[in-house]
């Protein structure tokens, strides 16, 4: 027979906050919270004290003052009479430009190099190993400065294109000029242009959208959509009848024909750069700092992406390709249907962080004078206005929101391709 007695009622004592596991976690958390709040409060109080001593209260009015400096590579119209806010906006767009170009180039190069490193060809694999080790073990800043030095020192000056005995010449039948100030390529022009749509009037964040470009994009999207509908119709017919109708010319023409019609009616032609005076005029101008930054960042990041790609392909066990082969698949479909979908799951997460790294490394633009957000807001604006706290805070917030947005998008994509496990 057993007797049940109530457990002895424990009286609460202060020491239980530390020794009793039921309360300890709460105690620790409150302690940490108080500690952190105290530190934050201390920092804020110091900052307020220091700023009031300096006579610089926190305010963002400086953003609406005229910037009085020029931005030489830009996507929107801008003059030195525009505000610091507009200069920062252009800087941000420049960051996006170099990050976007860099990510695409780095991805293509990285995949090629990663696959080539696994090549059965001994020599090719060794060359790629040397490439990867060379770029991974030397600082990216050095590569950027080196690329800039190569641009400036080893390419011909615009002067070299001039005169009877010019030492340099343009490429592709006088349409591309590669000079030490940058690269000039043909620009798209429309003689019957539909004009621009201006938004936000005269404010600092005004921007124009070219209607021609919008029309072309709309036509392309419509074309690709129709093309994919035709494809699915073909697949449906194949499933029902067993015979696939030949549709490739239909698919090609629904994309190309409307595009050609639009290009014809808007009077599309290319504007070529030409040497006038001391420099080239016309065409699209890619400044040497942009090229150097783009080149260095993409070559550097490609080495890391190559390693990720290689690891992803090696992570797929040999049994997978053998099983696929025993099902009767040929090498092409084995790669496309079996190896790549699995390898991508391994490759994509580190790939995202490489893209983010590239975007963050683009802030090194300041070393070669490319006017990105660090060069405008964190560089000249900061130095001119003396608003260190505000400028750096804004810069950090901008980078933080860009990074968090990209990683959120990529995580969403990653979740959608993730293997559903037990």
Partner 1 sequence: MSDTSFVRQEMLSEQPAPASSVGFLGWIKNNLFSTWFNSILTVIALGFVWYILAGVLPWTFLSVWNAGSLSECREIARQVWGESHGHACWAVINDRWIQLLFGFYPSHLYWRPILAFVLLGFALAPVLFPQSSRKLLILSGLYPFILPWLMWGGSIWSPIMALIGFVMGYLAIKNLSERIGQLGAIFSSIFAAFLWWLLIGPVFVDLLSANIPIALESVASRDFGGFVLALLIGIVAIVCSLPIGIILALGRQSDLIIVKAFSVAFIEFIRGVPLITLLFVASLLLNLFLPPGTEFDIILRVMIMVTLFSSAYMAEVIRGGLAALPKGQYEGADSLGLDYWQAQRLIIMPQALKVSIPGIVSTFIGLFKDTTLVSIIGLMDPLGLSQGIRANAEWNGIYWELFAFIALLFFVVCFSMSRYSMYLERKLQTDHR
> Which residues bind to partner 1, rule: CB under 8 A?
18-19, 24-25, 28-30, 32-33, 36, 43, 46-47, 49-51, 53, 119-124, 127, 133-134, 136-142, 145-146, 149, 153, 360-361, 363-364, 366-367, 374, 378, 382, 388-389, 392, 395-396, 399-400, 403-404
Question: Please, what is the minimum distance in Å from the beta carbon of residue 16 to partner 1?
Answer: 12
Query: Are residues 64 and 84 in contact, defined by beta-carbon separation less than 8 angstroms?
Result: yes
Question: Please, what is the minimum distance in Å from the beta carbon of residue 46 to partner 1?
Answer: 5
Closer of 140 and 215 to partner 1 (Cβ): 140
Question: Please, what is the minimum distance in Å from the beta carbon of residue 49 to partner 1?
Answer: 6
Residues 6 or more apart in contact with residue 244 via CB below 8 angstroms: 234, 235, 237, 238
Closer of 64 and 389 to partner 1 (Cβ): 389
Question: Please, what is the minimum distance in Å from the beta carbon of residue 153 to partner 1?
Answer: 6
Question: Please, what is the minimum distance in Å from the beta carbon of residue 378 to partner 1?
Answer: 6
Closer of 100 and 207 to partner 1 (Cβ): 100
Query: Which pairing describes strands 268-271 and 187-190: parallel, antiparallel, or unpaired?
Result: antiparallel
How far is residue 224's CA from residue 251's CA, in Å, rounded to a whole number? 8
Question: Please, what is the minimum distance in Å from the beta carbon of residue 353 to partner 1?
Answer: 9
What the block records as the tokens of 161 is 């294109």
What's the distance, Cα to Cα, between the start and end of the chain in Å?
47
Closer of 216 and 296 to partner 1 (Cβ): 296
Residue 59, phi then psi, degrees to nearest 5: -155, 150
Closer of 50 and 193 to partner 1 (Cβ): 50
Question: Please, what is the minimum distance in Å from the beta carbon of residue 295 to partner 1?
Answer: 15
Closer of 254 and 290 to partner 1 (Cβ): 290
Handedness of CA 120, 125, 126, 129 (dihedral sign): negative
How far is residue 414's CA from residue 344's CA, in Å, rounded to a whole number? 10
Question: Please, what is the minimum distance in Å from the beta carbon of residue 168 to partner 1?
Answer: 16
Closer of 159 and 206 to partner 1 (Cβ): 159
How far is residue 384's CA from residue 83's CA, in Å, rounded to a whole number? 12
User: How open is the CA angle 356-208-262, to the nearest 5 degrees?
Assistant: 95
Closer of 111 and 366 to partner 1 (Cβ): 366
Query: Are residues 67 and 86 in contact, defined by beta-carbon separation less than 8 angstroms?
Result: yes
Residues 6 or more apart in contact with residue 301 via CB below 8 angstroms: 102, 103, 106, 110, 354, 355, 357, 358, 361
Question: Please, what is the minimum distance in Å from the beta carbon of residue 346 to partner 1?
Answer: 13
Closer of 249 and 412 to partner 1 (Cβ): 412
Closer of 266 and 288 to partner 1 (Cβ): 288
Question: Please, what is the minimum distance in Å from the beta carbon of residue 367 to partner 1?
Answer: 6
């Amino acid at each position: 027979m057993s007797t049940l007695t109530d457990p002895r009622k424990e009286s609460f004592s202060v020491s239980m906050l530390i020794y009793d596991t039921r309360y300890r976690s709460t105690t620790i958390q409150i302690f940490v919270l108080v500690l952190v709040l105290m530190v934050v409060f201390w920092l804020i109080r110091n900052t307020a004290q220091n700023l009031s001593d300096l006579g610089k209260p926190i305010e963002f009015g400086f953003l609406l003052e005229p910037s009085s400096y020029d931005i030489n590579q830009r996507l929107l119209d801008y003059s030195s009479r525009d505000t610091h806010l507009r200069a920062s906006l252009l800087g941000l767009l420049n960051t996006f430009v170099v990050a976007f170009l860099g990510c695409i180039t780095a991805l293509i190069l990285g995949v090629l190099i990663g696959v080539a490193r696994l090549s059965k060809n001994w020599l090719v694999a060794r060359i790629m190993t040397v490439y990867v080790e060379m770029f991974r073990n030397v600082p990216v800043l050095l590569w950027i400065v080196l690329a800039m030095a190569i641009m400036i020192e080893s390419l011909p000056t615009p002067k070299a294109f001039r005169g009877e005995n010019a030492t340099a010449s343009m490429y592709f039948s006088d349409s591309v000029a590669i000079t030490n100030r940058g690269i000039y390529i043909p620009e798209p022009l429309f003689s019957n242009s539909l004009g621009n749509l201006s938004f936000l009037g005269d404010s600092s964040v005004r921007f124009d959208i070219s209607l021609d470009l919008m029309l072309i994009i709309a036509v392309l999207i419509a074309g690709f959509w129709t093309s994919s509908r035709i494809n699915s119709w073909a697949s449906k017919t194949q499933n029902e009848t067993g015979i696939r109708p030949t549709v490739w010319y239909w698919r090609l023409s629904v994309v190309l024909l409307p595009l050609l019609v639009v290009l014809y009616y808007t009077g599309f032609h290319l504007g070529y750069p030409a040497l006038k005076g001391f420099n080239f005029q016309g065409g699209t101008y890619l400044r040497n700092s942009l090229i150097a930054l783009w080149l260095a960042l993409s070559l550097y990041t490609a080495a890391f992406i190559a390693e990720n790609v290689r690891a992803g392909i090696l992570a797929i066990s040999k049994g997978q390709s053998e099983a696929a082969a025993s099902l009767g698949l040929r090498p092409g479909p084995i790669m496309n249907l079996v190896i790549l979908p699995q390898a991508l799951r391994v490759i994509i997460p580190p790939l995202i962080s490489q893209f983010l790294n590239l975007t963050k490394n683009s802030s090194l633009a300041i070393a070669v004078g490319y006017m990105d957000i660090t060069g405008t807001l964190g560089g000249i604006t900061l130095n001119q206005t003396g608003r260190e706290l505000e400028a750096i805070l804004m810069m950090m917030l901008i980078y933080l929101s860009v990074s968090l947005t990209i990683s959120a998008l990529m995580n969403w994509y990653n979740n959608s391709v993730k293997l559903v496990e037990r």
